[in-house]
Amino acid sequence: MLIIGERINSSRKRIAPAVESKDTEFILEEAQKQIEAGADYVDVNAGTFGPEREPELLCWLVKTIQDRFDCVLSLDSPNPAAIEPALKLHKGKALINSISLEKKRYQSLMPLVRDFGTDVIAMCADDEGMPSGLEPKLKLAGSLVEKLTGEGIQLDNIYIDPLVHPISTDHTYGKVVLQTIERIMTEFPGVHTVVGLSNVSYGLPFRFQLNQIYLVLAMGRGLDAAILDPTDKRLMANLTTAQALLDQDEYCMNYIQAHGEGKLDL
């Protein structure tokens, strides 16, 4: 299970001023607690500052975090003018978050994925929008796989995001994406799937609980990556437990270790 730590995002109230004022200690603390909690990638986003300031601030985030920690980053932007200089600074294999089938976005970001050999999140969206049904999502997933692998990008580098919509908008949306995940994993063996968990609970009370349970349901359908807050202890306990139950934890060693470290009994 690949975990992308979502906390360092300028759309979050406490993060924006820290990025804007280049508060190194605050950002390093945010990075450190996500890494310690199990993040494989630390996502960095400076999108709210507009296209003029985003490149500089994204680069600052990459340099600041990698100067201190031996970790890799998820560069969270649709803007190639921010992604490219950040990639040039980045050490190790980065993740680009994200590409889609929107023409302009695809054409400007795909060459960066290919040339820098990054992992990439590929969203089921195109210039007509983000469809909410199973078959339209699946069709976009198929096009993404076909086009990206056609450019020589390996399946193992591609994380398809079927895009989760809030169940408060339509009560079928949660189930549809679960089915989509399973179909993608079955029909394109070797590709990965990823979701941003928190969309599912938008507009409902006690969103943590919905996100925590949706992760389990999605893992049950084959999801193998997620954008989430790894400092949410119950979310991570559920993840560890689901891995034991889904035969992703031989002899339940991780589960038993997590229990020994007090990470389950919350």
Contacting residues toward its own copies, per CB under 8 A: 167-168, 171-172, 174-175, 178, 200, 204-206, 209-210, 212-214, 216-217, 219-221, 237-238, 241-242, 244-247, 249-252, 255-256, 259, 264-265
In the bound state with its own copies, the residue whose beta carbon lies nearer, of 154 and 209, is 209
Question: Are 185 and 225 within 8 A, CB to CB?
Answer: no
**What's the min distance (Å) between Cβ of 250 and its own copies?**
6
Phi, psi of 96 (to 5 degrees): -95, 125
**What's the min distance (Å) between Cβ of 211 and its own copies?**
10
Name the nearest CA neighbour of 97 among 64, 119, 116, 130.
Answer: 119
In the bound state with its own copies, the residue whose beta carbon lies nearer, of 160 and 200, is 200
**What's the min distance (Å) between Cβ of 230 and its own copies?**
18
DSSP 261: T
In the bound state with its own copies, the residue whose beta carbon lies nearer, of 147 and 259, is 259
**What's the min distance (Å) between Cβ of 161 and its own copies?**
18
One-letter identity of residue 223? L
Token digits for 79? 């803007």
Token digits for 119? 């992992």
Q: Which residue has the tokens 């649709």?
A: 78
In the bound state with its own copies, the residue whose beta carbon lies nearer, of 107 and 257, is 257
Other beta carbons within 10 Å of 148: 23
**What's the min distance (Å) between Cβ of 60 and its own copies?**
38
Phi, psi of 229 (to 5 degrees): -95, 100
